[in-house]
Amino acid sequence: SVESCALPAADSKCQTLHYGVTSPISLAPPKDIDCVQTQKLVEAMRPFGVFEDEEEQNHRLVVLSKLNSLVKEWISELGESKNLPPSAAANVGGKIFTFGSYKLGVHTKGADIDAVCVAPRHVERSDFFQSFFEKLKHQEKIKNLRAVEDAYVPVVKFEFDGIEIDLVFARLSLQTVSDNLDLGDDSRLRSLDIRCIRSLNGCRVTDEILHLVPNKENFRLTLRAIKLWAKRRGIYSNILGFLGGVSWAMLVARTCQLYPNALASTLVNKFFLVFSKWEWPNPVLLKQPEESNLNLPVWDPRVNPSDRYHVMPIITPAYPQQNSTYNVSTSTRAVMVEEFKHGLAVTNEILQGKSDWSKLFEPLNFFQKYKHYIVLTASASTEEHHLEWVGLVESKIRVLVGNLERNEFITIAHVKPQSFPGNQELCKQSGYVSMWFLGIVFRKVENAESVNIDLTYVIQSFTDTVYRQANNLNVLKEGMKIEAAHVKRKHLHYFLPAETLQKRKKQSMPDITENASRLQCKRTSSDGNCLDSSRDADSRTPYNSSSLNKMSKLDTSTTEIERLATVAIRTSGPPIGYTIPGHNTISQLRAHFVQGHHELSGTPITDSKNAAPKRPYSLTSKRCHSPTSEGCPKKTRDGEKVRKGGGGRLSSKELPDSSSPVPTNSIRIIKKSIKLTLNG
């Protein structure tokens, strides 16, 4: 059942308790129309499979109960095999704790469950990945079992009676793990392996978020709406530099703290109001960070210089506090802020009775939004290799976005989170193919008839990074390739079917393309004062840590807009004495590289306006494959040309290790020149 109108009147603490690091913006109680609008919001969400029925919910409970029993049984058996006394082995316990969207109560139909297996001290991590893995193998209802032991948070993935489960492991320094164990106690982290701390972090953060919101039902319904909206608008992906589930949850939780008595329909609107006006890179905090004597690394820009360069910090509320959005770049933040503004305009219309809630969930028309795109393809000769290769390439696309947005002529690099299968011709020549598309906004250059832009080095440094990491992980196989090409909107039909590219009615909000150049050149505060433009000149901006100390001392006695301006304190540009890392060297390198573009590929710059051959963007050319036998001039980071000798295709063992900044002369990466001319 859906609590679509969770009125706070019965819960007096919503009126009196103080939530978050500032006072609320408004304590206004809901009106009858808010309840009506919230019910309409629920109905608009139903067609998208957002709500599970009672039967599906009960099935999840049964599966989790069976998994919990398996864990207890395994831990007891393991105790006996390690010579624990039979009475002790029978009572050592062990438990499955859930976290993520399932624990928050916002999972959708068919969604997976994130869980952690918490074990006592006689159970080693190797036991989990060996003996427990073997035990799962012999369960009739468990399918698609696989272990990812070398992940940042090592995980076992499987399907249990139709429910997908991601199970991580944590070993506590306790003799027994009881059913009423409190994972929120910081002392539980003492003397733990860092991988166990990371595994427990998901539970601890989820529990703390639920503890820090005034009304859980209003929070859940609002979060369901925002997650659906983010997915429909193509900005739900932590790995690609947008926000993941926990980050969206924290933004919604902060909105609930600022409007503790509001219903979901109002909270969705206020969410867009708050974060369309938020002065990034000020952090979003659900509570003041707490000190601890455990000496674990925490997010703190006053202490850690690297934390000052996070462009959209959203800080987890449980110790050790971390920034959940370290993957966000200047481009992805700009895309999200523009979507917040669009969401505000749409929800204002809805609450004024001019539109209905279905308009909020209209998908972004990505392939009509930009004039220029980069298409990135990853291909492999077998399905198994392709799955492995696609996962690695996707995890590195944010590196490409960062490379592109540092180019002086590029304002926005917007990757669409969804990948697409290659067309029949591509698959015929390259095997199994996946494609990603990046929308590009180029900066307008005043008083210039045309500008020549060379992106070859940008693309090349990205492919070098992927090939090098693939080699380091021993996953680089024969036939694995990455290729890229610049494509104009009018030529997208060579890659995608007509139904994917079909035009929809024009959006009511101005395109990001109209505002992007302004975004990097100038920022204006809510009171009209111009802010230091250097903050957006580079992809990473130093953060003024003094605002962290001021967050709890904000004056919220003014009007709502003025209060919003104080919720996130404005910061100035880089502190005196700081430089933007890599800024000057990148500029020098780019200038050197562009001057030498004829040496690099031997192809002259052509006017893209006139260059429209019958198949202008074929990605199956032999010139742009991954390591091959043909030699070509190659630029190293210092701009010098390196000649490569001939020879056969290299095995992965001959590829360079991570100690070299780019692949050395033992790797043959044949470049495909990516050059274009923009007419002024």
For residue 131, give the DSSP letter. Answer: I
Strand 530-531 with 523-524, pairing: antiparallel
B/e letters for 650-673, b = 16+ CB within 10 Å, e = fewer, are eebeebbeeeeebbeeebbbbbbb
Nearest residue to 147 (alpha-carbon basis) of 123, 163, 135, 130: 130
166 is in an annotated binding site: yes
> CB 143: neighbour CB atoms within 10 A?
12
Q: Is 657 annotated as a binding residue?
A: no
Burial 20-52 (b: 16+ CB within 10 A, else e): bbbbbbeeeebeeebbebbbbbbebbeeeebbb
User: Is position 101 annotated in a ligand binding site?
Assistant: yes
Q: E-strand spans in 512-615? A: 523-524, 530-531
Residues in the chain: 680
- Helices marked H in 277-382 — which ranges? 330-351, 366-369
635 marked as binding residue:
no
Q: Are 225 and 264 in contact (CB under 8 A)?
A: yes
Q: Is 444 a catalytic residue?
A: no
Residues paired with 217 in a beta bridge: none
100 is in an annotated binding site: yes
Is 236 one of the annotated active-site residues of the chain?
yes
Q: Is 660 annotated to bind ligand?
A: no
Query: Which tokens belong to 630?
Result: 């043909």
**In this structure, are residues 507 and 365 in contact, taking their beta carbons and an 8 Å threshold?**
yes
Secondary structure letter of residue 247 according to DSSP: H
**Whole-angstrom Cα distance, residue 176 to residue 496?**
56
Tell me if 401 is assigned to a ligand binding site: no
Which entry of 11, 112, 356, 511 is annotated as an active-site residue?
Answer: 112
113 annotated to a ligand binding site: yes
Alpha carbon distance 415, 334 (integer Å):
12
Residues 590, 481: Cα–Cα separation, whole Å: 26
The single-letter code of the amino acid at 165 is: I
Q: How far is CA 579 from the centre of its chain?
A: 27
112 catalytic? Reply is yes
Q: What are the Cα distances from residue 350, in Å, to 3, 41, 197?
A: 21, 10, 44
Look up residue 645 and give its two tokens: 């000798």
Give the three-state DSSP class for 95: strand
Q: Specify whether 207 is catalytic.
A: no
Place of tokens 């230091």: 532
Q: Which of 72, 95, 227, 416 is catalytic?
A: 227
226 is in an annotated binding site: no
The answer to whether 236 is annotated as binding is: yes
Q: Is residue 375 a contact partner of residue 619, using CB atoms and an 8 Å limit?
A: yes
What is the distance between the alpha carbons of residues 677 and 455, in angstroms, rounded to a whole number? 11
Spatial distance between the Cα atoms of 170 and 156, rounded to a whole number of angstroms = 13
Q: Partners of 485 in the beta sheet?
A: 375
101 is catalytic: yes
Check the annotation: does 227 bind a ligand. Answer: yes
- Direct distance between the N- and C-terminal alpha carbons of the chain, in angstroms, rounded to an integer: 58
**Which one is catalytic: 4, 19, 72, 114?**
114
In the set 236, 370, 432, 494, the catalytic residue is 236
Token digits of residue 109:
């139909």
The dihedrals phi and psi of 658, each to the nearest 5 degrees, come to -70, -5
Q: How far is CA 669 from the centre of its chain?
A: 29
Give the pair of three-digit tokens for residue 255. Answer: 């909105």
Give the 3-state DSSP-derived string for 584-625, with helices as H, strands as E and coil as C.
HHHHHHHHHHHHCHHHHHCCCCCCCCCCCCCCCCCCCCHHHC
CA atoms within 13 A on the CB side of 284: 29
Q: Is 467 annotated as a binding residue?
A: no
Spatial separation of the C-alpha atoms in residues 394 and 495, rounded to whole Å: 19
Query: What does each C-alpha distance from 511 to 225, 364, 516 come to in angstroms?
Result: 23, 11, 9
Two structure tokens written together for 379:
């291909």
* Active site amino acids: 101, 112, 114, 166, 227, 236
Which residue numbers belong to the known binding site for ATP? 99-101, 108, 112-114, 166, 227, 236, 245-246
Annotation: binding site: 99-101, 108, 112-114, 166, 227, 236, 245-246
Annotated binding-site residue numbers for Mg(2+): 112, 114, 166
